[in-house]
Homo-oligomer: A and B are copies of this chain.
Amino acid sequence: MRGLQEKLRALVRSGAGCGPFYAAVVAPDGEVVAEAANSVVSGNCSHDHAEMNAIRLAEARLGTWNLAGRGLVLYATAEPCMMCVGGILWSGISRVVYGVGTEAVERIAGFDEGFKPAWREEFAKRGIEVAGPVLPELGESVLEEYVARSGVIYKPR
Give me the interface of A with B, judged by CB distance under 8 Å. 40-41, 43-47, 52, 55-56, 59-60, 63-69, 81-87, 89-92, 112, 114-119, 122, 126, 154, 156-157
Contact = CB atoms under 8 A, between A and B. Distances in A.
A91 B46 CA distance: 5
B85 A114 contact: yes
Copies of the polypeptide in the assembly:
2
Q: Do most interface residues of chain A lie in helix, strand or loop, or is the interface mixed?
A: loop
A91 B44 CA distance: 10
Nearest to A48: B65
7 contacts: A40-B90, A44-B59, A44-B63, A46-B66, A46-B91, A47-B52, A115-B118
